[in-house]
Amino acid sequence: MVRVSFTANLQRHVACPPRTVEGCTVREALAAVFAENTRAAGYVLDEHGALRRHMIVFVNGEAIQDRATLSDPVADGAEVYVMQALSGG
């Protein structure tokens, strides 16, 4: 099982409580969350399923590498954080 948490800043627009889901990759874990929260998906991913430009996903503290297809693996017990990438000054 994988625990997925979202930035508090997203909660103002769409409720995204932490979820514990099944999944072997970031894509699978997020898909499991978004299956029950379809509106949230559009805030994190673009229309092609890629991570939005100013968003970032950490798996156990490490930023994912594959922002286009989210193929980074997640091990059982992993912590996935969906955050805003700091941009601008």
Interacting residues toward other proteins by CB under 8 A: 9-10, 13, 39, 42-44, 46-48, 52, 54-55, 84-85, 87
Residues 4, 1: Cα–Cα separation, whole Å? 10
Looking at the Cβ atoms of 17 and 39, the one nearer to other proteins is: 39
Q: C-beta of 4: minimal distance to other proteins in Å?
A: 17
Percent of the chain as helix, strand, coil, to the nearest 5: 20, 30, 50
**Shortest Å distance, C-beta 22 to other proteins:** 26
